[in-house]
Structure 1
Amino acid sequence: MASARIVYASMTGNNEEIAGIIEEAFEDLNVDVTTTEVSQAMASDFLDVDICVAVMYTYSNVGEGELPDEALDFYEELQELDLTGKVYGSAGSGDRFYDDFATSVDDFDKAFAKTGATKGADNVKIDLAADGEDIEHLEAFTKALVDKQASL
């Protein structure tokens, strides 16, 4: 059985909900999944699973979009790992009001790419809370990750 870990940061609850949707989709696909809030996780936790997922918000109060403060250490540690042979995906909620809409999703995508892991699905960026169509995209994202992992 494949295994997955979802690490998320959520200020408003939107990303916690997104992580939950992905978690449920993994469970429906018979993947053993663990979901952890980023302040309670270590990047090295990804060494113990087949599929690695980050669900992050972008802090957009002033200036350019920034990573969540609580995710900074995790983000730095992630880039030092060797995740060759693992599949990753990046998703998150943002607010289209800001020019830097959900840029943390892209930042984590680039960090994962540095680890040697294989990108398993296109990034998913959701405007605020996930609705019906967003849920379908998250389910397709999760299935793509599982399919990619099975093909390695």
Structure 2
Amino acid sequence: MAKVILIFASMSGNTEMMAKAVSDGISAMGEGLKIIDIIDGPDAKELEDYDGILLGAYTWGDGELPADFLDFYDEMDSIHLTGKKAAVFGSCDSAYSQYGAAVDILTEKLRERGAEVYPQGLKVELTPEKEEEEACRTFGKNFVTFLRNSID
């Protein structure tokens, strides 16, 4: 069984809803995972202990990471994720010029640190409705398939 970690930031609860649905998809595939809210202060170095890494963040302002994610993001500069599989998701707001930029920022950082990132990050407009929650569960299931293809 692969070791999987999911770290998320949520201000309004939207990304937390996404994290729950993604984790449901992972669990449905028989994988366990550790879930951490970014406000609980995880150490980026911990990512090196996992086979699969999922990061979830809403986009703040005109295209920034949430303030709660900034220290963790900076800590990622000192870790090495070669051989790890990763994916990113987040709630977005199309009222801003950069739609879901936090997903793109975290995806790029994971690649920069050597992780193989799931081909498409998941972006959901504001509060996930039933259809988007199902897309999140499917995202979790697809991530497990992506992860298993590397460890078989």
The answer to whether TM tops 0.5 is yes
Q: Distance in 2 between matches of 1:48 and 1:56?
A: 21
Q: Distance in 1 between matches of 2:111 and 2:77?
A: 8
Please give the per-residue CA displacement for 1:27-60, whole angstroms capped at 9, x wherever unaligned: 1111111111113211112112111011001111
Query: Which residue pairs with 2:85 in the alignment?
Result: 87
The answer to whether the 8 Å contact 1:122/1:141 transfers is no
State the SS of the aligned residue for 1:126.
strand
Runs of 4+ deviating beyond 6 Å: none
Q: How many residues align?
A: 149
Aligned match of 1:54: 55
Q: 2:107 is matched with which residue?
A: 109
* Residue 149 (1) aligns with residue 138 (2): no
Post-superposition Cα deviations, 1:51-109, rounded to whole Å, max 9, x if no partner, equal 1011001111xxx3211111101011123311111100000001111112210010000
Secondary structure, aligned partner of 1:32 = coil
Q: How far apart, CA to CA, are the structure 1 residues paired with 2:84 and 2:102?
A: 21
- What's the CA shift string for 1:123-142, capped at 9, x where partnerless? 11100011122123222322
Tell me if 1:31 matches 2:31: yes
* Residue identity matched to 1:70: D
* 1:111 to partner: Cα distance: 0.5
Q: Does the CA-based 8 Å contact 1:5-1:51 persist in structure 2?
A: yes
Q: Does 1:13 align with 2:21?
A: no
Q: Whole-Å Cα distance in 2 between the matches of residues 10 and 114 of structure 1?
A: 24
SS in 1 for 2:78: coil
What residue identity is the alignment partner of 2:56?
V
> Quick one: distance in 2 between partners of 1:39 and 1:151?
32
Higher relative contact order (CA 8 A, sep 6+): 2
| 1:52 partner amino acid | I
Which SS does the other structure have where 2:71 is aligned? helix
TM-score by length of structure 2 reads 0.92
Q: Establish whether residue 139 from structure 1 lines up as the match of residue 140 from structure 2.
A: no
* Backbone CA RMSD of aligned residues: 1.3
Instruction: Structure 1 unaligned segments of length 5 or more: list them.
Output: none
Q: What is the TM-score when the length of structure 1 is the normalising length?
A: 0.92
Other structure's SS at 1:144 match: helix
Q: What is the DSSP-based 3-state SS (H/G/I as helix, E as strand, rest coil) of the residue aligned with 1:92?
A: strand
